Every structure is written in C-alpha cells, then in structure tokens.
C-alpha cells in the first residue's frame, strides 16, 4: 500500500453510512466513493435499455462495459425506487460484483484528488461506503465501520429523503421494499451484507448524524 489511509463504511440502506462516509472524507480531506452508485448505474442501464434487471447475462454485460470515467453519477434517476430495486437485484449476481471489484480497489489504492495530499493528484486517504468494503473489497482497510439501525427508522429516513426530493411515496411500500432489499443483500451467496469481524458496529437508530460522526472520529483518533 502507498501509506495512505483507507476507511470502510458498510451497512444497509439508510443506516447513515453515506452521510457518515461523506463527512469523514470532508473532515479528513480524503476521496469518497459511494459504491452503491456503481450497482445503481448498472441497474439503470438495464431499465433504460428495456431489459429485465433479473437477466443475469444482460446485467453482467452492462457491468463489464461500465466505465466509471464516463458514467453520470449525478443522474437523479439513480435514486429512484425502481433503480434501487434493480441495483439490489444486479448486485446479487457474482459476475456483476466481479466486474466492479477493480474499479473500487483502484479507487482505494489511488484515491483521486487531494490538493493537500502527498503525490500530485492523489489524496491522503479514501473513504468507501457500501455493503462489502470491509469484508471483500478492502479487507485490510485501516478503519472499518458497520452502521445499522432499526428497519422502521431506516424506512422513515428513506421516505423523508424521497419526499424532500419531491417524490410521492408511501411509508409501508418503502418499508416493504427495504425489507426485500435487506433480505437480498444479506442472503446472497457472494459478498453478503455483514460486518467484518474487526469492524466497529454503530447502531444509529437513536444517534443523529453529528453523534455518529463524533463517535467515528473518536475511534479514528
């Protein structure tokens, strides 16, 4: 390794991992990668091509041709419920996961950016959030956090996020969808959602973003 720091933040949907990971990256001046977006991009490609996200060959093909350099990670459709569902389906396919390993490991090994960093264009560290960062993608990460929260609380957060965006959503449907996605993430054969043995597990059900951030920083420092 090149001497920089890698932080893994894993957990289920709306556990607060994205908020924490982004904040750690900003505070520490590290590069940040939301790895869920990679699976979302693959899911959205299939939706837009009129293909079934459950079509394993089509999903694998989309993941293989996926190019992080040209993908539009700001497309609002990436956050749609339909895309969330498709992402969860494609993420269970081993060939899709295998195709996306390198882009994640390259990011961890050579975090882009870093005005304050060491070598030109390389940040001093990387924060990656996802489901399998601490277990599969970066098992040697310097710090590992696994966030969790009660599913009802996570569904409420997700509803707020979608309503803030202007979407009309029903709590019970979001809750049902989240249960299905959790189940798929936790029970899939390859890289299931689970805390690494050496991860700090943080339950955010009654912890706001500031408290989760303060706790993570105290563990890092």
Give the footprint of ligand DC on this chain (CB under 6 A). 13, 35-36, 39-40, 84, 87-88, 91, 130-132, 181, 185
Minimum distance, C-beta of residue 195 to ligand DC, in the bound complex (Å): 14
Nearer to ligand DC, 63 or 117 (CB): 63
Nearest approach, Cβ of residue 39 and ligand DC (Å): 3
Taking a C-beta distance cutoff of 8 angstroms, is the pair 216, 30 a contact?
A: no
β-sheet with 200-203: strand ranges across: 31-34, 125-130, 5-10, 143-148, 200-203
* Count of CA atoms in the C-beta half-sphere (13 A) of 66: 30
Q: Which residue is it, tokens 């993570």?
A: 216
Going by C-alpha positions, the residue among 204, 145, 195, 155 that lies closest to residue 175 is 155
Whichever of 34 and 117 has its CB closer to ligand DC, that residue is 34
Q: How far is the CB of 121 from ligand DC (least distance, A)?
A: 25
Distances from the Cα of 202 to the Cα of 97, 135, 139, 214, angstroms: 26, 16, 18, 12
Task: Output the CA torsion 72→77→79→82 (10° steps).
Answer: -130
The tokens describing 107, both together, are 């990011």
Gyration radius of the chain's alpha carbons: 17
In whole angstroms, how close is the CB of 188 to ligand DC at the nearest point? 8
CA atoms within 13 A on the CB side of 221: 9
Q: How far is the CB of 53 from ligand DC (least distance, A)?
A: 11
Identity of the residue, 191 or 216, whose beta carbon is nearer to ligand DC in the bound complex? 191
Residue with smaller CB distance to ligand DC, 61 or 129:
129
DSSP 78: G
Give the whole-angstrom CA distance, residue 80 versus residue 167. 9
Q: Cβ of residue 84: shortest distance to ligand DC, in angstroms? A: 6
Query: What is the nearest approach in angstroms of ligand DC to the Cβ of residue 119?
Result: 27
């Amino acid at each position: 390794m090149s001497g920089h720091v890698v932080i893994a933040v894993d957990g289920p949907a709306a556990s607060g991992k994205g908020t924490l990971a982004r904040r750690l990256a900003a505070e520490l001046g590290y590069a940040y990668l939301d790895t869920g977006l990679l699976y979302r991009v693959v899911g959205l490609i299939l939706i837009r091509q009129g293909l079934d996200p459950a079509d394993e060959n089509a999903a694998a093909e989309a993941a293989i041709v996926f190019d992080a350099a040209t993908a539009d990670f700001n497309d609002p459709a990436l956050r749609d419920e339909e895309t969330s569902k498709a992402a969860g389906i494609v993420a269970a396919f081993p060939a899709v996961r295998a195709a996306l390993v390198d882009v994640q490991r390259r990011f961890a090994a050579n975090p882009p950016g870093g005005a304050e960093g060491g070598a030109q264009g390389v940040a001093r560290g990387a924060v990656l959030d996802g489901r399998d960062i601490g277990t599969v993608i970066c098992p040697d990460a310097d710090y590992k956090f696994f966030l969790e929260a009660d599913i009802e609380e996570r569904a409420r957060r997700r509803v707020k996020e979608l309503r803030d965006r202007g979407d009309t959503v029903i709590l019970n449907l979001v809750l049902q969808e989240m249960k299905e996605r959790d189940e798929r993430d936790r029970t899939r054969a390859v890289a299931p959602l689970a805390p690494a043995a050496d991860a700090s597990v943080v339950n955010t059900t009654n912890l706001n973003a500031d408290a989760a951030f303060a706790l993570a920083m105290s563990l890092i420092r």
